[in-house]
Chains A and B, each alone.
Chain A
Amino acid sequence: MAVLSMVEAIRSTLEAEMARDERVIVLGEDVGKSGGVFRATDKLQERFGSERVVDTPVSEAAIIGASIGLATAGLVPVPELQFLGFAHQAWHQIGFQLARFRYRTNARFTTPVTIRAPYGGGVRAPELHSDAFESMLVHSPGLKVVAPGSAADAKGLLATAIRDPDPVFYLEPLKGYRLVRDEVPDGEYLVEFGKVRVARAGDDVTVVAWSGMVGIAEEAAAAAEAEGISVEVLDLRTLMPLDVDGLAESVARTGRAVVVQEAPLTAGFAAEVVATIAEEAFVHLEAPISRVSGYDTPIPMPQLEDYYIPDAHRVLAAIRAAVNF
């Protein structure tokens, strides 16, 4: 075990997977010579050469479209989108092409493509670099969506994603790249999709989070503890598949749930989590399920982003409201 930052866990996992399977190739804007704008692909081109770690033109649709083609040629592409905000340019290739290639061809072709993209705010980046949105990815049948909240999971989920036969969208919390640091198992380490991680066990209320919001939830949970409220923090890890039973089991026990997301409120993925809990654990609910969320505005200019992104104070308020309902 070594303590690694998230970006180092990602980088070293990419390296290990490329070493393990020569079909794995990395492509994207600035991933090669410069090693990625966040160094998530640092030194990979030096080790594996410029045919396996490829600097592409600035063409997001072609990066994903070509990844589909590369996959059908027998390779295992791991394209990077420099920021999730630029996935929109490739959206037709993601939502309707990559996600559906197997379906469209009655399984003649599978497309084991893992798209990596950083997302979320908190680092004072320019417009379109910090937007968080997951629900449209999840709402794309055929695609899996992964959003680790710890460095260990970053490793285990990335390795699982690359080896998964289905296409995976792998979300990396921009702010967590260097800030999130934890013990990462050495060597081969795979984390199964579709199982929540109990980031903190508790009895009074369940707080559901993923990616960059896990740390916020934990912070709020610690503060609640000090007030005598025992909080269970669930890290979803994978949004699709969603661990429906893991959610239901926890809320059945606690009777209360708070869902935290960074994205705008309306039609964000938190709505799905709420709807799922409301369906699966209705009889156990002792308070309304609440959402702590970004607002129905774009993430604002850097000087205001801290006011936008949910913080422990807001999560704690929701925890208190749930308990005092």
Chain B
Amino acid sequence: MPIQYYIYLCLTLFSIGIIGVLTRRNAIIVFMCVELMLNAVNLLLVAFSKMHHSVGLGAEGATSQAGIDGQLFVFFIMVVAAAEVSVGLAIIVMMYRNTHSVDINFLNRLKN
């Protein structure tokens, strides 16, 4: 499968994530869009790792481990994402407790 396809796909997903961050006011949804971005990245990483792996295969045969680091990186990204989610949701809940709202447009006590 040509790598460009994957790139386009992931960039699309990534940009959709960005657009989500920009267009939604619900903190949770915004956060979900960030997760969407991360997933796009993950997919792209895997794709790249397979691409580099193919080169490795060509070079040193079936035993090649080339490109495995990409997939491991994905693993770490998932770990971090999980940690982030736990903290992030905690913060959002705390916010909700005090304001009974998750609307980021109301976050304007601090400005100028």
A and B found bound together: no
